[in-house]
Amino acid sequence: MFLYALTLQKASCIIQAVHGNFSGAKQQEIIVTRGKILELLRPDSNTGKIHSILSIEVFGEARSLVPFRLTGGNKDYVVVGSDSGRIVILEYNPQKNVFEKVHQETFGKSGCRRIVPGQYLAVDPKGRAVMISAIEKQKFVYVLNRDATARLTISSPLEAHKGHSLVYHIVGIDVGYENPLFACIELDYEEADQDHTGEAAQLAQQTLTFYELDLGLNHVVRKYSEPLEDQANLLIGVPGGNDGPSGVLVCCENYIIYKNFGDQTDIRCPIPRRRHDLEDPERSMLIVCSATHKMKAKFFFLVQSEQGDIFKITLDVQGETVNDMQIKYFDTIPVCASINVLKSGFLFCASEFGNHYLYQIAHLGDNDDEPQFSSSMPLEEGETFFFKPRGLKNLVLVDEIESLSPVTHCKVANLLNEDTPQLYMACGRGPRSTLRMLRHGLEVTEMAVSELPANPNAVWTVRKNIADEFDAYIIVSFVNATLVLSIGDTVEEVTDSGFLGTTPTLSCHQLGEDALLQVYPGGIRHIRANKHVNEWKSPKKKVITKCAVNERQVVIALNKEELVYFEMDMTGQLNEYTDRGKMDSEVMCMSLGTVPPGEQRCRFLAIGLADGTVRVVSLNPNDCLQELGMQALPRPAESVCIVEMGSGAESERNLSAHEGGLFLYIGLQNGVLLRTALDPVKGQLSDTRTRYLGTRPVKLFRVRIYKSESVLAVSSRSWLSFWYQSRFHLSPLSYELLEYASGFASEQCPEGIVAIAANTLRILALEKLGTVFNQVCASLMYTPRKFVIHPPTSNLVIIETDHNAFTESTKTERKEKMAEELIQGAEGDDLALATETAEELMYEGQPEDVFGSPKAGTGIWASCVRLFSPTENKTLDLIQLSQNDAAFSVAMCSFASREGEWYVVVGTGKDVVLGSRANSGGSLILYQVCEDGRKLKYLHTTPMDDAPLALEPFNGRLLVGVGKLLRIYDIGKKKMLRKCENKHIPNLVVDIQTMGSRVYVSDVQESIHYVRYRQAENQLVVFADDTVSRYITASCLLDYDTVVAADKFGNVAVIRLPSDVSDEVDEDPTGNRSIWDRGLLHGASQKAELLCHYYVGETVLSVQKTTLIQGGSECIIYTTLSGSIGILVPFSSKEDIQFMQHLEMYLRQEHQTLCGRDHLHYRSYYIPVKNVIDGDLCEQYNSIDYKKKRSIAEDLDRTPNEVAKKLEDLRTRFAF
């Protein structure tokens, strides 16, 4: 078995985000690392939207980023710290739209190791040096400079190691142009390591250490070190030189401390807390991320606490001394991994979990009534300031980047009876959790809908002048009339446009500089700017049946066969070409491309004929209407369209002329779309790509998306073919059936589509081009763990569980208690105020999805069971479990003894402690699904010795994994009845799959166990297991002998039983069997074989065998903790396997990874990759340099187009 691995949706979590002028322009961009992906984002300061400019796989773990700029430069570089054992400096090339590797220096082994640097990066603010550090011991400093040709140079590494020390954070100190200085939080564990009593570990203190790079002597010294009283986790560099006092802010538990050299005293300010917070007041508070913003005369810091509250910190500076630190509540947003303040006034927030946000900073919070706290205010040790959280005041949300991370569970099912199945995903953490339904397709924003007096048959938009940015008219054609609408603040009907309104329109266009053109069955109207109309009437007994127009040319077909060609001269007059073309078959459709800049005409006309061919005809004066090329089709063409793809804004930075070009799109009557390359010189057709779109004939319309020509194809579903990030995409629109469409541009919607559906006119916008799926979200209360489907109604039963959380009833109790204490502690005049505050506390609840939920402490759990309808997108029933009951597993069962009834079984644990897995027991809670699947009725609870982590229906009964025991239960009147038990699973049952009488049990540490249920003896017998320890997170059956399993380290393996394995083995309950006959490698006597193995790079939490597209083949789909969706597809022929193996081999040699990691080593991180070809690497073929592309293709005895077509076919056969 050979598999081909493809990523459908890239990871959406953000580990770190940095900003800078990476393209050299004045506008700032953001670079984010999503683990194995680097992405460049650009916020549009006019619209507030954030656009993805470049997203690239690095085939390694990009763990840290830091931008820097050389002194006097106008462009930022980015340093990448990864698991490659190398430091890499990247430069963004806006012309080619690629990251280019400027330097790559090796310093250690590959892999995420404790003592190999890559976890932390810090740069000197003047761009003179960079420090890269490991978690333990090793730190290197590299000197950055320019050579004689102004190119960036990097020195050999200078060591700054310190043995037996842990590093928490490092930062570059702004010291102007003095020797570069780096600050580091370290913890020396040498004494703790040697002290067996553990006392030294308790007394170990962190130190703030300063490392100085002596540029004269070219070495690094430990300049200064001082112990920290409080545990610190974050350092923030303070602007220095001419911009500020220099120094560092140390973020500790409950405090922020300013430190600097010289006579400067420490400035210590407590982190403010929320007033009347339900959390334990003894719980310490940490700062999780920060952003610094410098303005001409001042600077400030934004820091975020672990509750999501943002505080603005300013320093009171006199000369070079800091006298005071002010801290003020700014706003509350979701907890972030990184926040970035841009010069354009935006705040980019890369959320820890869930969607990422872009805010506009509306106010700096200087003049509001929010109290400002100061380090000089007198406070007792341990006391702090209090503030009241509120809704957004200083920030305005302008854009949102959808993120699936973390995906805890996923199922692919067609619950809505659509063309393709939907992906149902349990996403998020805590109160920001969601259930998301994903459909393949682009999200469509409906800008306007208006009803028309009758059903139209076509619609166009035209501009009055070629220089106009926006369209002036919408022309709607009916069976016997034409309606003209003017576009302004509103869309209104006009009668003085010059268009003939008493006849249907075949086509219209803006002509020349400022004229308009209307083609109707009886002739052509040429409307000049002064409203003077030139009309060409069709000859007697002849009508115009088809036409094609652009800004300078018109071609019409008279009586379906005779071609008449018109071209505009220099005076703006339309002239008819003397000769007419006679086609030997009926003309079904025609298309002209747009006139290239600086040329007089489009050189080609494409004609679709009834004889099942498409002809390309020349429009050059010397061979006008002569046939240049022909393509035979399986069915007659419904429409044709010539477009130049990869043009506009993208082509300016195109990879090469071979990437984009001129293409002929052909829509057939049987619902198939063809894309054929059109030779711009000879007019020859080549390299045809085919895709089935739907059941109706395909109509094609040229539209503009992202300043580039695209094609909208309308069949039983609408599709958009567009060029984005240097490759072709064909995506369906998640919208109802359209009948006709045209491009639309107005001030409110610069790149939209105007379309007709039945008797309505619709204006649509497409904004999120890079997304593969569009989402429908439903909010949840706690972190979703698993869900099951109720087959008769397609409703979902979801279990949600949060650790460190209170249930709603406990929150209410704590609020009541706090209100009572407030009133009891008040006397006299304060009583009325205390009563008012208590009432406010009881009834004024802050939304937890914004402000977060209170932290209850370790070992405290909150859970609920939710019945959800995906068709109505609403919750039908919600059952809250009691405090400290944690729901871990759920199953939908139909018991043999009670046929026709459906039951939900929920496995819970009581007082579960993470890590040790200690608990005070578990239970099985049984609910009956009633009221047509809209209600859950509680039946009974069965106590257990341990928490059941895996449940699975099995032959009319229930299989339960209780700790390391595998049991079979049946339904009883008062509790579940135990029927059978197996005690031979080594550690802990985490997943169960069944087929026939076989049970496939996943152990938390010891991979898959194959179990046979022997009905006659009522025994569960382990007859085979795996040879390798795998920490299983998800599993799925491929067939009776084959299982695909994913582990927590990011590996996916396919395991199969050899053909000679027998499941007819005897149990040995007495232990009398000979010791040599008992087992192999301390396990079962028979072992499974490893067929395939592949390292994904992210923890896989769900695996399923499914079909993603109508008529497609089966594939394995997996989802990961980071929010990515991928598939593993089987090859159908040996020829395909050999071809892709050779392509992968050549790309490993030719395409060097961005972070310097060897691709083969990366995919073999823990176990060597076996029988899996990396489709993500193979698809990099489309984006490499054309010379390399041609060289690889020649080695494979193919042309570059044939290789690209093979890659496209492999993807579209199984997915999208």
SS (H, E, C) 316-367: EEECCEEEEEEEEEEEECCCEEEEEECCCCEEEEEECCCCEEEEEECCCCCC
Residue type, 837: T
Q: Residue 970: which residues within 8 A CB-CB, separation 6 or more?
A: 895, 896, 897, 957, 958, 976, 977, 979
From CA 481, how far away is CA 437, in angstroms rounded? 43
Angle, vertex CA 302, rays to CA 301 and CA 305, nearest 5: 130
- Judge contact between 225 and 207, C-beta under 8 A: yes
Amino acid at 259: K
Measured in residues, the chain has a length of 1216
Beta strands in 660-698 (DSSP E): 661-668, 672-678, 685-692
d(CA 355, CA 907): 30
The CA angle 658-663-667, to the nearest 5 degrees, is 150
Cα–Cα dist 426/783, whole Å: 8
Structure tokens at 1101: 């939490």
DSSP 823: H
Residue 116 DSSP symbol: S
1023, exposed or middle or buried, with CB in 10 Å at 0-12, 13-18, 19+?
buried
**3-class SS letters over 1156-1205:** CCCHHHHHCCCCCCECEEEHHHHHHHHHCCHHHHHHHHHHCCCCHHHHHH
Query: In Å, how far are 362, 543, 853, 857, 1102 from 802, measured between CA atoms?
Result: 35, 72, 10, 11, 19
Q: Any idea what DSSP says for residue 1132?
A: S
CA triplet 950, 955, 957: central angle to 5 degrees? 55
The residue ranges of DSSP E strands in 725-860, in sequence order, are 727-732, 740-744, 752-757, 760-766, 773-779, 784-790, 795-803
Q: Quick one: which of 1135, 1124, 1077, 1132 has its CA closest to 1099?
A: 1124
Angle between helices 1200-1214 and 1186-1195 (to 10 degrees): 80
Of 112, 105, 176, 108, whose CA–CA distance to 142 is shortest? 105
The neighbouring-strand residues paired with 800 are 784, 864
CA distance 995 to 508: 63
Give the side-chain half-sphere CA count within 13 A for 747.
5
Q: What is the pLDDT of residue 829?
A: 65
Task: List Cα–Cα distances, 902 to 349, 585, 797, 869, in angstroms.
Answer: 45, 63, 12, 16
Closest CA to 648 of 579, 574, 590, 702: 702
Read off the tokens for 957: 């009964």
CA 50 → CA 42, 247, 357, 400, 769, distances in Å? 6, 34, 9, 8, 12
Using left for φ > 0, alpha for ψ between -120 and 50, and beta otherwise, residue 300 falls in beta
Q: Per the omega criterion (within 30 degrees of 0), is the bond before 504 cis?
A: no
Q: What is the pLDDT of residue 842?
A: 63
Q: At 1185, which amino acid appears?
A: D
Residue whose C-alpha is closest to residue 988's, from 1103, 889, 1094, 857: 889
Q: Which two structure tokens, joined as six digits, stand for 254?
A: 């409950």
The encoded tokens of residue 82 equal 């990864």
What the block records as the tokens of 1027 is 């040879």
Contact (CB, 8 A) for 946 and 918? no
Shortest CA distance to 766 belongs to which of 748, 751, 755?
751
Rounded alpha-carbon distances, angstroms, from residue 1031 to 746, 987, 1006, 1095, 1102: 56, 11, 7, 14, 14
**CA atoms of 639 and 629, how far apart (whole Å):** 17
Beta carbons of 384 and 270 less than 8 angstroms apart: yes
Q: Which of 32, 92, 91 is nearest to 62 (CA)?
A: 32
Of the candidates 435, 476, 430, 434, the one whose C-alpha atom is nearest the C-alpha of residue 456 is 476
Q: pLDDT at position 770, please? A: 74
Angle at 754 between CA 751 and CA 757, to 5 degrees: 145
Q: Are 699 and 671 in contact (CB under 8 A)?
A: no
E-only strand ranges, 874-976: 874-880, 885-893, 903-910, 922-930, 935-944, 948-954, 957-962, 965-970
Q: Could you give the CA distance from residue 59 to residue 302 in angstroms, rounded to a whole number? A: 33
Residues sharing a CB contact under 8 Å with residue 1005, sequence separation 6 or more, in sequence order: 986, 987, 988, 1029, 1030, 1031
What SS3 class is residue 450?
A: strand
The tokens of 413 are what? 């099912």
Cα Rg of the chain (Å, integer): 34
The CB-side HSE value for 552 (13 A sphere, CA atoms) comes to 17
Select from 855, 882, 701, 853 the least CA-distant residue to 781. 853
For the chain (length 1216 residues), average pLDDT per consecutive 10?
95 97 91 96 90 94 96 92 96 93 95 95 96 96 92 94 95 95 96 90 93 94 93 96 92 95 91 87 92 91 96 92 94 96 96 96 88 90 88 95 95 91 96 95 91 93 91 94 89 88 94 93 92 91 94 92 91 89 92 90 94 94 90 95 70 40 94 93 90 93 89 94 84 92 90 93 87 91 97 96 93 83 73 72 76 90 97 96 96 93 96 90 96 94 96 96 96 95 95 96 96 93 94 96 97 95 65 47 85 97 93 92 96 94 95 93 96 96 90 94 90 83
Show the tokens assigned to 1174: 């990396």
Cβ contact 846:798 at 8 Å: no
The answer to whether the beta carbons of residues 124 and 88 sit under 8 Å apart is no
Residue 965 phi, psi (nearest 5): -100, 140
At 394 the pLDDT is 95
| Residue 1185 phi, psi dihedral angles, 5° rounding | -60, 140
